[in-house]
């Protein structure tokens, strides 16, 4: 049988013992991999091992897919509230949406109950400050699951007028087994983003968490069981991208896949879909998002929002695809902006440290590997070598763990790597501009198009610019305040498809047109 891990916490933020399984979760049971193997999970604050978890292979993915297929066809689930009986049904749309919704709502309630515990796992494994993990990631995950629980009984088609001798209507049916792959930096939140709409629409799931930050996902599985989801509806196969991720991408019995991560890996998933069974693919990929500050903005508020948007450091330690890492400031307020902006960023740099300290606002890099740490530092070195000015930061913070100072570059040119490429760390560039036309052209001069921020008290101009920018999300006089009801996704090389809201439901269903003959005779 797979092992368990018990972690003892005695910190100012959280005290207690957390126990969770370290195996694979398939068909409602914790199991060992077919080919036993483990990976060490690292605490990014110290660089030391927290525990070891099982690592699966393509064989485990195949077993999980079979369990997910079986889960579509035979279950006892409770009837809606007016009945006290149970009945045999399939999990998909033949299972009443009210039952799926009740399970999701119950899952949200359990997550709320255990939010302190799971936030502690996010803090020790991802490195996110505990108070942020609890107030942002956990709260966001709870709201997201609860939101889609409300959608589960509202998956509706249309009646279409044709002739009096035909009844025509559409059904939105689940794909069946869907594959999902989530990243390391926001492990629990991305898990919620993926599973909630998939379950609301009646799909079954094979999900791969990041092998570097799987702990909150493994603990979350206990809540799935407690909520009453039938065996095989949700399966978790931890493992590496080139093995488990590739197996999910290529599996012939998975017809829908959702991925959040790098553009490079997104291309590989699209290629796998094309080479196998033409899976429907949703990709939420990289970004190099512009933050545009006009001279008529509310400067005090803008600086606060821009400090958060620079790399969403408070929420994601700089590792966010929507990070506002290209900041354009109109030349008339550039000196005032830089003076006050620098102070806020430097104050943030002084609040780097232990995620369980109440004073910490910036933890270590969540991509808990020397490779990713070196990659970010390599971009900083590239900026220096190409002639950009390190306005603040630019160095490692401390000697233990994967901490990097929040860094701002000035005096940059459009061709520099730090301007064009996603760094996925707490690094931003600041540039002056003169006119609206000039900044729109500069902001769009990238292969990415995930999000953008526009700051101006002239709402007509703010909206005009927001509409002109090539991005899937535009935030006016705020930074990336996403909402479960509003679609989220990218233009250009930032992805395909949409998450959140009613648009997400469309990505997890396929439309069937039904034609009923009411009187035509041959």
Residues annotated as catalytic are 284
Q: Are 56 and 24 in contact (CB under 8 A)?
A: yes
DSSP β-bridge partners for residue 166: 517
Separation between Cα atoms, residue 224 and residue 260, nearest integer Å: 22
DSSP β-bridge partners for residue 473: 451
DSSP state of 207: E
The separation between the first and the last C-alpha atoms of the chain, rounded to the nearest angstrom, is: 64
Cα–Cα distances in Å, from 56 out to 27, 31, 36, 238, 244?
Answer: 15, 10, 8, 6, 7
DSSP state of 494: G
- Residue 89's CB is within 10 A of a number of other CB atoms, namely 16
Name the nearest CA neighbour of 22 among 39, 2, 6. 2
Burial (CB < 10 A; 0-12, 13-18, 19+), residue 435, is exposed
DSSP β-bridge partners for residue 173: 510
By DSSP bridging, strand 159-160 and strand 166-174 are antiparallel
Separation between Cα atoms, residue 208 and residue 179, nearest integer Å: 8
At residue 57, the 3 state secondary structure works out as coil
Strand (E) or helix (H) holding 408: strand 407-410
DSSP β-bridge partners for residue 390: 409
| Those residues with Cβ within 8 angstroms of residue 301's Cβ, 6 or more apart along the chain or in another chain | 477
511 backbone dihedrals φ, ψ, rounded to 5°? -95, 130
């Amino acid at each position: 049988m797979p092992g368990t891990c018990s972690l003892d916490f005695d910190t100012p933020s959280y005290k207690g013992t957390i126990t969770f399984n370290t195996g694979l979760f398939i068909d409602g049971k914790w199991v060992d991999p077919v080919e036993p193997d483990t990976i060490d999970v690292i605490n990014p604050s110290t660089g030391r091992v927290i525990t070891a978890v099982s690592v699966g292979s393509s064989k485990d993915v195949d077993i999980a897919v079979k369990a997910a297929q079986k889960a579509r066809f035979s279950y006892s689930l409770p009837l809606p509230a007016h009945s006290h009986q149970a009945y045999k049904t399939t999990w998909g749309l033949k299972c009443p949406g009210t039952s799926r919704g009740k399970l999701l709502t119950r899952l949200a309630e359990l997550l709320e109950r255990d939010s302190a515990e799971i936030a502690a796992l996010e803090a020790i494994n991802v490195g996110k400050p505990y108070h942020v993990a609890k107030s942002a990631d956990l709260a966001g995950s709870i709201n997201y699951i609860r939101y889609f629980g409300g959608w589960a009984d509202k998956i509706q088609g249309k009646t279409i007028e044709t002739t009096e001798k035909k009844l025509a209507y559409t059904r939105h049916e689940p794909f069946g087994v869907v594959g999902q792959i989530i990243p390391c930096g926001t492990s629990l939140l991305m898990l919620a983003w993926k599973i909630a709409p998939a379950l609301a629409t009646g799909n079954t799931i094979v999900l791969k968490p990041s092998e570097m930050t799987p702990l909150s996902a493994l603990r979350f599985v206990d809540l799935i069981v407690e909520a009453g989801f039938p065996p095989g509806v949700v399966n978790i196969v931890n493992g590496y991208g080139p093995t488990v991720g590739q197996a999910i991408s290529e599996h012939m019995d998975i017809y829908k896949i959702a991925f959040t991560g790098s553009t490079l890996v997104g291309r590989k998933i699209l290629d796998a879909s094309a080479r196998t069974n033409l899976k429907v693919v949703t990709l939420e990929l990289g970004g190099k998002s512009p933050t545009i500050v006009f001279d008529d903005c509310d400067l005090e508020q803008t600086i606060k929002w821009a400090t958060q948007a620079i790399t969403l450091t408070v929420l994601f330690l700089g590792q966010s695809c929507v990070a506002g890492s290209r900041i354009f400031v109109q030349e008339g307020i550039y000196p005032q902006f830089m003076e006050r902006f620098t102070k806020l960023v430097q104050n943030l740099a002084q609040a780097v440290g232990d995620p369980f300290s109440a004073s910490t606002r910036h933890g270590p890099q969540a991509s808990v590997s020397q490779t990713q740490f070196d990659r970010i530092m390599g971009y900083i070195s590239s900026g220096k070598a190409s002639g950009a000015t390190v306005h603040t930061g630019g160095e490692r913070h401390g000697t233990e763990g994967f901490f990097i100072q929040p860094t701002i570059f000035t005096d940059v040119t459009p061709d520099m790597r730090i301007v064009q490429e996603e760094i996925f760390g707490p690094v931003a560039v600041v540039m002056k501009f003169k006119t609206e036309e000039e900044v729109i052209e500069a902001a769009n001069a990238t292969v990415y198009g995930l999000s953008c921020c526009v700051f101006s008290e002239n709402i007509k101009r703010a909206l005009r610019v927001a509409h002109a920018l090539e991005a899937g999300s535009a935030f006016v006089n705020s930074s990336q305040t996403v909402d479960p009801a509003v679609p989220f996704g990218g233009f250009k090389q930032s992805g395909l498809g949409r998450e959140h809201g009613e648009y997400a439901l469309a990505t997890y269903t396929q439309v069937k047109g039904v034609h009923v003959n009411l009187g035509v005779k041959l």
